[in-house]
């Protein structure tokens, strides 16, 4: 694996031609959401791979998506992605499965539950309640709706990849295959946190050594390592094999930690037109990976991820990101970069 380093020097944007290719593997879903104000939205297009692909596109990459879609998944969505220059040749349709269906619920303090809070769902009108389907707690059905090693290219030489939320074993299989077939760069979002809560944080030792960058969030760690201070989390992830960790901390920004090196704090850019944080962490990951692919600068990539995530919170659908101006992301990236600060050295 190549060594990555963060640079404290300001980055001057350069135009790359053609845009760097970036591969994203994970889930496409149809979501049902209960908001804190009592309103709901059902059959919303979502999924970690779709949000991340739109983030990568916003950051200037040409995304290639690898996923499985189930019965009734709209052809119009895949067609729209192709119109936007996103390669969908890695999307496999399986009409024998429902695909990934996810439910969320929000509370007044902004916190989110997935699956949606049972009491919240029970209070919904019957017709709406019947649309709150969550397949993510059915292991067999969930695995059938996720990309497998057989879905990956036979030759991955020189490619860069983002792996979204996946079961631990499946993430390990994909990482191993991509590494064996020549992938140049691999980054990993947090594997299924409910699984880690049962197995324990040490189970991450199966996957962390295989990726250049690990991108968990504090919403993940509060499930499988509740109450553990952030500096201890970073140290633990490094001890389990992570060379570089980007810990997404919600409103507190993000922490960039390289094993044996400094820790950088990257602040958020508050979005005045905030609508919904769904998918923001995935947008962060996609934009981060795309920018890192283009520049090789970790700190710059984290600032770009934070900027893209901030603008994404005004979007209710991942496809809405196509209407955002990349110049605004660049302005926010520069604003965030000026405020990034070096923290104490991380523990080995």
Q: What pLDDT does 18 receive?
A: 60
CATH code of 21-27+44-94+150-345, in short, is 3.40.1190.20
Instruction: Please check the confidence at residue 53 and state whether its pLDDT lies above 50.
Output: yes
Q: How is the chain split into domains, by residue range?
A: 21-27+44-94+150-345
d(C-alpha 206, C-alpha 197), whole Å? 15
* pLDDT tens for each residue of 65-88: 999 999 889 999 999 999 999 999
Instruction: Please check the confidence at residue 189 and state whether its pLDDT lies above 70.
Output: yes
Structural Rg of the chain based on CA atoms: 19
Which of 8-17, 100-109, 325-334 comes out lowest in average pLDDT? Answer: 8-17
* pLDDT tens for each residue of 243-267: 999 999 999 999 999 999 999 999 9
Residue that the structure tokens 């916003």 belong to: 58
Sheet order of strands, 262-266 included = 87-93, 62-69, 21-25, 160-163, 185-189, 213-215, 244-248, 254-258, 262-266, 341-345
The mean per-residue pLDDT over the stretch 122-141 comes to 90
pTM for this prediction: 0.90
Residues 6 or more apart whose CB falls under 8 angstroms from that of 239 comprise 348
How far apart, in Å, are the Cα atoms of 14 and each of 11, 164, 302? 9, 28, 17
- Torsion, Cα of 11, 268, 246, 232 (10° steps): 130
The tokens describing 192, both together, are 């299924």
Q: Coil, helix or strand for 173?
A: helix
């Amino acid at each position: 694996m190549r060594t990555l380093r963060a640079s404290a020097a300001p980055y001057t944007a350069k135009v790359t031609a053609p845009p760097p290719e970036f591969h994203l593997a994970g889930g496409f879903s149809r979501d049902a959401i209960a908001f804190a104000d009592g309103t709901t939205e059902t059959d919303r297009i979502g999924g970690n791979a779709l949000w991340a692909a739109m983030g990568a596109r916003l950051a200037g990459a040409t995304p290639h998506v690898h996923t499985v879609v189930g019965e009734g998944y709209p052809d119009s969505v895949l067609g729209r992605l192709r119109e936007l220059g996103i390669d969908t040749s890695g999307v496999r349709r399986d009409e024998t499965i429902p695909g990934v269906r996810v439910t969320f619920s929000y509370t007044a303090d902004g916190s989110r539950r997935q699956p949606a809070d049972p009491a919240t769902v029970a209070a919904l009108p019957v017709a709406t309640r019947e649309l709150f389907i969550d397949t993510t707690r059915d292991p067999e059905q969930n695995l059938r709706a996720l990309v497998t090693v057989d879905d990956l290219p036979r030759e991955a030489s020189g490619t860069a990849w983002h792996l979204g939320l996946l079961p631990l074993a499946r993430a390990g299989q994909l990482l191993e295959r991509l590494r064996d077939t020549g992938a140049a760069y691999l980054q990993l979002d947090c594997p299924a946190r409910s699984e880690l809560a049962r197995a324990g944080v040490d189970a991450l030792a199966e996957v962390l050594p295989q990726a250049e960058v690990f991108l968990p969030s504090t919403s993940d760690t509060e499930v499988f390592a509740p109450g553990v201070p952030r500096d201890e989390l970073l140290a633990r992830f490094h001890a389990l094999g992570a060379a570089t960790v980007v810990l997404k901390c919600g409103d507190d920004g993000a922490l960039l930690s390289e094993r044996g090196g400094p820790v950088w704090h990257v602040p958020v850019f508050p979005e005045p037109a905030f609508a919904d944080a769904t998918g923001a962490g995935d947008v962060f990951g996609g934009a981060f990976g795309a920018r890192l692919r283009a520049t090789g600068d970790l700190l710059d990539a984290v600032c770009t991820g934070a900027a893209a995530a901030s603008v994404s919170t005004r979007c209710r659908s991942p496809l809405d990101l196509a209407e955002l101006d990349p110049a605004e992301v660049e302005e926010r990236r520069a604003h965030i970069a000026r405020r990034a600060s070096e923290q104490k050295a991380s523990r080995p």
